Structure 1
Amino acid sequence: MLATRLDLDRIRAARRVIDPLFLDTPLYQCDPLGHHLGCTVSIKLETANPVRSFKARGTELVASLLTGQGRTAAVCASAGNLGQALGWSGRRRGLDVTVVASRRAPAAKLDRIRALGAELELVDGDFEQARERAATLARQRDIRLVEDSLDIETCEGAATIGLELADSARSVRPSRFGAGSAFDAVLVALGGGAMASGVGYALKTLAPAVEVICVQPSGAPAMTRSWHQRRVVSTDSTDTIADGVAGRYPIPAVLDDLLAVADDAVLVREESIVEGMRLLLEHAGLVVEPSAALGVAAVLENPDRFADRHVVTVVCGSNVDLPAYHHWIRR
């Protein structure tokens, strides 16, 4: 048994709570992208849903729990995607949702949070300042503070992605990529760690031969540094276009989970992230936000590691400001 906060029975039960709109997302082999990268590439697409990211898998659990407890309100800090997801799940269940975000967050994400009916408060500074303000509001209003990655529901919601991947891995004939496995590595964006620890836990429990590789921008390396040093390592600042994974203070409990389930954690350069976005558009027809291109960036930076292998990259979000997107991919 893996020594983590996660539980396989709870993750399986989560599928009965999460709206089916967010479950059983497409997983398909993308040959044009694979030919360009020199390996077999499959895409796990988490953007074809009402909030355009995987985050609602977790907020569906949180919102269901809160309404079951008779709660009527919640607050969270968000780089954009969590706020949208909590707004969607909260509206569906009659919760009043407040989202605290940085003024520097992509305008498209902020506009969508407002459109979903959530109260939006903006702060100067980065996500960490938003997190501090959200905690203050929770105390002042005596409402639930939803903390991505720390709240186990956000991790176990994301872990349902891993269940779907594990089911796919076990449903095919044995191949040279590993006994009974359709692929031998999964590339997961790493920020606070909810998706990486959740997907990693499900795979290591149900398909342990599959390598779990976490990918983070070099401009926001706190969790990757922490994973390699096996202790919390914070940073003074971040400098990356991948706003969705730009945290500075890893959560100790989440790091412990990640240490138990991840095989590796790597950093990638900004130019590789941009190239990954461009390749996903050109070869897969997908407009994605920078965090969703981290897996492709990892293959670009280390092609020998992945040559002739079959990898899955989790495309985790597509909430992006189009002017910024066009600027990046034309650069």
Structure 2
Amino acid sequence: MTPDFDISHIVHAPQRIDPAFLDSPVLTNAALDAAIGCHVLAKAELANPIGCFKGRGADLFCAVALEAGEPVVSASAGNFGQGLAYATNRRGHACTVFAASQANPVKVEAMRKLGANVRLVGADFDAAKDAARRHATQTGQRWVEDGAEAAVADGAGTIALELIAAAPFDVLVVPLGNGALLDGVGHVVRARAPQARIIAVVAANAPAMKLSLEAGRAVATEQADTIADGIAVRVPIPSTLGRLRACCDDVVAVSEHDLFLAMCLIHRTLGVMVEPAAAAGVAAMLTEPERYAGLRVATILTGANISPALRARLLAA
């Protein structure tokens, strides 16, 4: 655990977060357990106003880190942008979100419906982030970087408080994008369930975070070409790496094939349709079943905002 971690921020966070994002269910299924060889506890962050976990951190950030009426600028693959749009709209802030030109159209349309001014710029998320940062500097608006804001991580950490209260687990397997989720839940588990191991999961086609945590420095990649847009990081945030490394025991990579297999397995056994990043934890279990055999393994189904093409592919599988 990092020396500056204070769990009280997360313990008190639910008082500031819209209740619509709290107390998500933990899903279990005997057929899922049998397919993997362990007991899976799937925290489903799906049935809320934006269909993903990002509302927790975005709403907390807007509650504690913004001045009244302060406009914000951010970049997103779509889910954090939805959370920020939802939170700023209900709290009276203007919100501009930059996304890649090829961003998931379902997420883009949702951000716009929630009130964000969405600008499509660049070939990928990190290119859109560069443009967003420049825009924030030029306009003097508040720059909000998912993964770098403490309140965003604290909001995500409330997921772990609920998981620990729901059932004991031996391992927590966490999808790893820019790191707010791992930062929040990882530090809570270190403090409240220190016996549990924490495994972070990246897409093999977007390995920058794994390479960076293993090297102890930011390692950018030329591409992040994965169906899991929610964890498609090409350029890590250097200042966060120390905190992230302190709250996970290992970082693993999963293939595109296993991400899709995990989506299919989740759909078949749990009856929910998740986007690829949300299936990363189950994909990790499928990749290395011997690692989890006989254990109680928790994971987080982070979102349900699947692209139309992937939805059609999943339904046809």
Fold shared by both chains (TM-score > 0.5): yes
Q: Does 1:156 align with 2:154?
A: yes
Give the whole-Å Cα distance in 2 for the aligned partners of 1:5 and 1:223: 22
Q: Residue in 2 aligned with 1:208?
A: 194
Give the whole-Å Cα distance in 2 for the aligned partners of 1:247 and 1:190: 9
Q: CA deviation at 1:235?
A: 0.7
Offset from partner CA, 1:7-35 (integer Å, 9 cap, x none): 21111121110111111111132222111
RMSD over aligned Cα atoms: 1.4
Q: CA deviation at 1:269?
A: 0.5
Give the whole-Å Cα distance in 1 for the aligned partners of 2:219 and 2:309: 34
Q: Residue in 2 aligned with 1:235?
A: 221
Give the whole-Å Cα distance in 1 for the aligned partners of 2:278 and 2:161: 20
Offset from partner CA, 1:273-295 (integer Å, 9 cap, x none): 00000001101101000000101
Q: Residue in 1 aligned with 2:122?
A: 124
Q: How many residues align?
A: 317
Compared CA separation, residues 4 and 215, structure 1 to 2 (3 A)? farther
Give the whole-Å Cα distance in 1 for the aligned partners of 2:200 and 2:256: 16
User: Which of 285, 290, 293 lines up with 2:271 in the alignment?
Assistant: 285
> What is the one-letter code of the residue matched to 1:304?
E
Q: Residue in 2 aligned with 1:177?
A: none
Offset from partner CA, 1:235-269 (integer Å, 9 cap, x none): 11111000011111111222111111101110000
5+ long unaligned stretches in structure 2:
none
Q: Does 1:191 align with 2:189?
A: no
Give the whole-Å Cα distance in 1 for the aligned partners of 2:138 and 2:132: 10
Q: Does 1:54 align with 2:53?
A: yes
Q: CA deviation at 1:66?
A: 4.6
Q: Residue in 1 aligned with 2:139?
A: 141
User: Which of 237, 242, 256 lines up with 1:270 in the alignment?
Assistant: 256
Compared CA separation, residues 6 and 55, structure 1 to 2 (3 A)? farther
Tell me if the contact between 2:64 and 2:151 (Cα under 8 Å) persists in the aligned partners.
no
Tell me if the contact between 1:66 and 1:72 (Cα under 8 Å) persists in the aligned partners.
no
Deviates further, 212-221 or 3-12: 3-12
Compared CA separation, residues 245 and 104, structure 1 to 2 (3 A)? same
Q: Residue in 2 aligned with 1:167?
A: 165
Q: Residue in 1 aligned with 2:31?
A: 32
Q: CA deviation at 1:5?
A: 4.9
Give the whole-Å Cα distance in 1 for the aligned partners of 2:248 and 2:285: 17
Give the whole-Å Cα distance in 2 for the aligned partners of 1:111 and 1:288: 18
Q: Residue in 2 aligned with 1:176?
A: none
Q: CA deviation at 1:72?
A: 2.6
Question: Could you state the TM-score of these two structures normalised by the residue count of structure 2?
Answer: 0.96
Deviates further, 51-60 or 31-40: 31-40
Local SS of the residue matching 2:15: coil
Q: CA deviation at 1:208?
A: 0.3
Tell me if the contact between 1:222 and 1:247 (Cα under 8 Å) persists in the aligned partners.
yes
Local SS of the residue matching 1:124: coil
**Any runs of at least 4 consecutive aligned residues in structure 1 with deviations exceeding 6 A, and if so which?**
none
Q: Residue in 2 aligned with 1:111?
A: 109
5+ long unaligned stretches in structure 1:
170-181
Tell me if the contact between 1:275 and 1:329 (Cα under 8 Å) persists in the aligned partners.
no
Offset from partner CA, 1:145-193 (integer Å, 9 cap, x none): 1100111111111111111122234xxxxxxxxxxxx210111100101
Question: Could you state the TM-score of these two structures normalised by the residue count of structure 1?
Answer: 0.92
Compared CA separation, residues 12 and 229, structure 1 to 2 (3 A)? same
Tell me if the contact between 2:65 and 2:151 (Cα under 8 Å) persists in the aligned partners.
no
